[in-house]
Chain A
Amino acid sequence: NAGVTQTPKFRVLKTGQSMTLLCAQDMNHEYMYWYRQDPGMGLRLIHYSVGEGTTAKGEVPDGYNVSRLKKQNFLLGLESAAPSQTSVYFCASSFPQGIYEQYFGPGTRLTVT
């Protein structure tokens, strides 16, 4: 099993450009999540999904959109990138019960200039 994979690993964007980050999991998890990690702030939830075709806003959703067309994939889009979106982005997935651990991908380092 590959677990949780993320594409790409690194990306540099100019302000105003758009891009999509792809997350894939092969563990048949219902729940998927997108987090951003910034120094001294831990991880903050951007959006999450509790199943195929459903998405919901997390703690810091502004400037991002998501889609979950297939159970195994969760896409994070930036329509018009801003320097404040420079961060490391992590995808995670889990079974639906809160006591089960979340499995994290290796992260995508995004720089917006």
Chain B
Amino acid sequence: GDSVTQMEGPVTLSEEAFLTINCTYTATGYPSLFWYVQYPGEGLQLLLKATKADDKGSNKGFEATYRKETTSFHLEKGSVQVSDSAVYFCALIRSAGGTSYGKLTFGQGTILTVHP
């Protein structure tokens, strides 16, 4: 079945440091890929997405590129802020077909803490 694997956390960085959170996936067909963010005490919010190979999703200084050849969708940010402290989830949806349609498969989440 479909699966998403994220790098182990937690990740602790100083403000203005470079961030990478690795994400790899296993899925049949051509899934759409997402990064969701969960701030403390809140529900998940979509951070960025990519729907086909080589697409780059970007938002709020975060970027991720859909790499079909390595089945990866790594999240990066050049300079993190304290306000980026949150839990980050990589996820996929199969692009079409059957009972999987529209159902997100999540990674286990990576806790990011940014210190001043």
Contact = CB atoms under 8 A, between A and B. Distances in A.
**Same assembly:** yes
Interface of A: 4, 31, 33, 40-45, 48, 50, 56, 58, 90, 92, 94, 96-99, 101-102, 104-107
A106 B43 CA distance: 4
Nearest to B41: A106
A14 B49 CA distance: 41
B102 A42 contact: no
Interface residues of B, number: 26
Interface string B20-52: 000000000000101010000111111001010
Contacts of A33: 103-104
Contact of B95 (A41, A42, A98, A107): A98
A90 B44 contact: yes
Contact of A42 (B41, B43, B49, B107): B107
Contacts of A45: 103-104
Contacts of A58: 103
Contacts of B99: 56
A31 B92 CA distance: 16
Interface in B72-103: 89, 93-96, 99, 101-103
A99 B49 contact: yes
B98 to A, nearest CB: 11
Given A99-B51, A99-B93, A104 B106 contact: no
Contacts of B32: 98-99
Contact of A98 (B41, B93, B106): B93
Given A42-B109, A43-B89, A56-B99, A102 B42 contact: no
Given A42-B108, A98-B102, A99-B93, 19 more contacts: A4-B43, A42-B4, A42-B106, A43-B44, A43-B104, A44-B106, A45-B104, A48-B103, A92-B44, A94-B102, A96-B102, A98-B32, A98-B93, A98-B94, A98-B96, A98-B101, A102-B46, A102-B104, A106-B41
